[in-house]
Structure 1
Amino acid sequence: MFLKILAAELANPDPLNAQDNTQYISQLAQFSSLEQAQNLNVSMGKLLQSQQIDEGSALIGRKAEFNVGNGKYVGDTVRCVRVAKGDVYLECDNGNYKIDQVAGVGDIENDSKGGQSPEKPETV
C-alpha cells in the first residue's frame, strides 16, 4: 500500500512543493524499512502457522480437550490437521477445533458431571 503511494508521489510530483534530495532519500529509507517490517510480519505469520501444523500433527490419533467457551470443555480424538483461511484446525471425531482451543492432551475419561476431560493433561 505504502509503495503504491510512493510510486504515485514519484510519478506525479508537486512542482510548487518540491522536495530536496535529503527529504527524498529519507522518505525512501522510511518506506524501505516499512516494507521490510511488513515482510518480516508475513514471514513470522507463516512460521507460526507451520509450528501450529507441526503441533497439530503430533496430536493425530490422540485424545485432546478443547475449550469451546463459556467454561465448557469437550474431549475428542484428533484425526487430522487442516488449514482454512489461514487458521489451523484439528479435525476430530465429533467436530473441528482451532489449534488454540486445545486445553490439554491425554487419555479421556468421563468426569463426575457426565462430560469428558483428559486424565493428566499435558500442556500444549
Structure 2
Amino acid sequence: MTNIHESLRLNQQPKPIQNGAQGILGKDDFLKILITQLQNQDPSNPMDDREFIAQMAQFSSLEQMTNMNQAIQKFVSMQSSQSLVQHSELIGKKVQWQRDVPIDEYRSRTEHVDNVVKSVKLEKDGQIRVQLDDGRWISNEQIVQVSKVDDK
C-alpha cells in the first residue's frame, strides 16, 4: 500500500475558484470543487456517503436558486415593459395629479393640478414618468385621477 506524503497532498490541492471580481462561488464552481474532491480522494478512505449526498443536495439547491433568480429577473423585465404599455393609454387623457407646495420650512400643503398627458417613458431605474402638456415630467405615482379631455 502506498502512502502519500502530506506535503505532496497539500501542493496538489485546488486553488480557490472565484467567479468574477465579486469573489462569489457559483454553481459551476461548486461542481468543479466537488469533482476535484472526488478525483483526489483517498481510495482507501473514500468520502462518506452522507457527506456526498449532503453536498449533492447543496448543489441541487444552489442550481434551483440560480434558476429561480433568472426567472424572477425575466418576470420583472416583462412587468416593466407591460407597465409602459399600460401607461401609454394615458396619452391624450386629462389627469389630476398632486404635488406638495411648501408653506414654510416646516409645513407644506398638497395641491391638485389638472393637465393633459403628452408622453410616457420608462426610466432606467424602472420608474414610469409621464410628460404633461406644460412640458413637466411627473411620476406615475403622483396621478390621482384620469378622465377624458373636455370637448369644447
TM-score past 0.5 threshold: yes
Tell me if the contact between 2:92 and 2:149 (Cα under 8 Å) persists in the aligned partners. Answer: no
State the match for 1:5 in structure 2.
25
* Aligned-partner residue type, residue 74 of structure 1: V
Counterpart of 1:71 in structure 2 is 110
Name the residue aligned to 2:141. Answer: 100
- 1:19-50 deviation digits (Å, cap 9, x = unpaired): 83212211112112211221232122223212
The equivalent residue for 1:81 is: 120
Give the unaligned 5+ runs of structure 1. Answer: 110-124
Partner SS, residue 60 of structure 1: coil
SS in 1 for 2:145: strand
* Higher RCO (C-alpha 8 Å, min separation 6): 1
Alignment root-mean-square deviation, CA: 3.2
Contact 1:80/1:90 (<8 A) preserved: yes
Bigger Rg, which one: 2
1:90 Cα deviation after fit: 1.1
* TM-score, length basis structure 1: 0.65
Aligned-residue identity in percent: 16
Q: How many residues align?
A: 106
Kept after mapping to 1: 8 A contact 2:93/2:149: no
Alpha carbons of structure 1 residues 59 and 66: separation in structure 2 relative to 1, 3 Å: same
**In 1, Cα distance between equivalents of 2:98 and 2:74:** 28
- Distance change >3 Å, CA 41–CA 23, structure 1 → 2: same
Partner amino acid for 1:45? V
Change (3 A) 1:10 1:29: closer
CA gap of 1:100–1:37, structure 2 versus 1, over 3 A, is farther
Alignment of 1:14-93 (within 5 A): 20-69=51-100, 71-85=110-124, 86-93=126-133
Query: Between Structure 1 and Structure 2, which shows a larger proportion of strand residues?
Result: 1
Kindly report structure 1 stretches of 4+ aligned residues shifted beyond 4 Å: 7-13
> What is the alpha-carbon distance in structure 1 between the residues aligned to residue 142 and residue 82 of structure 2?
15
Residue of structure 2 in register with 1:118 after alignment: none
TM-score, normalised to structure 2's length? 0.55
